[in-house]
Amino acid sequence: MTAETSGMNMGLAGQPAAWRSLVRILLLTVGPVLVALAIGGLILMVLGVDPLAYYAYVVKRGLMSSIGFQATLTRMAPLLLLAASLIVAFRAGIWNLGGDGQFLLGAVVVAATGPLLVGHLPYWGVLIVCMVVGMAVGALWSILPALLKAFQGVNEIITSLMMTFLGISLANVLVKLLFWDPGTTVPQTRTLEVVDRLPRLFGTTVSSGFFIGLVAVLLVHVMMTRTAFGLKLRIVGANPRAAVHAGLSVPMLTVAVFAISAALAGLAGAVEILGVQGNVRADWNPAYSLTVVPLVFLARFNGFATIAFVFLFSVLSIGGESAARRMGVPNFFTLVIVALLLIVLGLAEYLDQRRRAGGN
């Protein structure tokens, strides 16, 4: 048998395994989405709403309509940055669930800072300083969970969630007291004028925050998969004891992961203010971070797949808001779909683990 024939046989022999791996990945990613949408359709039927008509209207408004499609891309901007934040943390084995607090505090401080800088700095200077401020605020709010995790081994799920609750409350206090615009009767920060916000892309209404989010996800993907620093973080996440034996400083890398992850969450808040909102009202909290968690897991922490799932969620979100008004469905039904997706994803992972354990 020639070497060429042997190589062909080996390639053919490897095809079934490759196909099985591809089918498994599809079942664990696309499968939960389809099942969640099907269960959501059953709930709509119980509510007396035609699920096919509902989903068709969601697609029409969130994807096919020019205005809706531009709104979908704009909605993706903070979601992509939060997804990048979670990818860094999860790939390093750290559960930074404090993204909502980091996001909101970054947004509030940027909303208060931006109008003060206008007139004192050039246009791009204001935007750059505000984004740096948002990142700094997010990173600072992660210091306590980072230090407790790195040097005391305290579970970061608990501490980061606690800091989220504190951050949301502190943001409201800042809006209602320190940053309240005296020219308004409703508690809110000063408003950054539209001309001073992030520019629109190609003459559309799409905020350039969308481009910032895309770049952030791709840079994080490259960092975690193609650089020595990313390899160190993955080793820490996979086996901290092995990382110690390899001479890696686990505490310092843990603090670095928290800082990078939280800075991206703070940047998401800054981009949302600079690109869309312009100000922050009291009690405003979109709770984007926890919503993005199942999307990142569905993507298996892959940057390219994450972009696709964030796009899908944005279509559901924008289209769902229009469908809710037209068809009498509650506004939060999109969150019901996300919750179903998380449950189905967990069940799919459990069944896959059992199948693989049985196969061994």
Cβ neighbors of 89 (< 8 A, separation 6 or more) are 95, 96, 257, 258, 261
| 248/332: higher pLDDT | 248
pLDDT at 87 over 90: yes
Mean pLDDT in residue range 33-43: 92
Matching residue, tokens 């993706």: 76
pLDDT at 353 exceeding the cut of 90: no
Torsions phi, psi for 355 (to 5 deg): -65, -45
Q: What percent of the chain has pLDDT over 70?
A: 94
What is the SS3 assignment for 202? coil
- The pLDDT value recorded for residue 10 is 46
What is the mean predicted confidence (pLDDT) over 144-160?
95
CA distances from 74 to 108, 148, 296 (A): 19, 36, 19
325 pLDDT more than 50: yes
10 Å CB burial of residue 279 (0-12, 13-18, 19+) is buried
Confidence of residue 8 (pLDDT cuts 50, 70, 90): very low
- Segment 270-289 mean pLDDT: 94
Higher-confidence residue of 123 and 326: namely: 123
DSSP string, 274-306: IIIISS-BTT----HHHHHHHHHHHTTT-HHHH
Residues 165-196: pLDDT tens digits?
999 999 999 999 999 999 898 999 999 999 99
Q: By mean pLDDT, which of 16-30, 100-114, 277-291 is the weakest?
A: 16-30
pLDDT at 170: 96
78 contacts 103 by C-beta, under 8 angstroms: yes
What confidence category does residue 360 fall into, taking pLDDT thresholds of 50, 70 and 90? low
Q: What's the whole-number average pLDDT of the chain?
A: 90
CA atoms within 13 A on the CB side of 56: 5
Instruction: Please give the average per-residue pLDDT across 204-226, as a whole number.
Output: 96
- Beta strand extents in the chain (DSSP E only): none
pTM above 0.85, yes or no: yes
What amino acid occupies position 268? A
Q: Which residue has the tokens 């993204």?
A: 99
Signed CA dihedral, 26, 80, 90, 288: sign only: negative
pLDDT at 12: 46
Confidence (pLDDT) at 23: 75
Per-residue pLDDT band for 277 (boundaries 50, 70, 90) equals: very high
Residue 95's pLDDT is 93
Q: In this predicted structure, what is the pLDDT of residue 236?
A: 87
User: Is residue 18's pLDDT more than 80?
Assistant: no
Query: Is the predicted pLDDT of residue 256 greater than 80, yes or no?
Result: yes
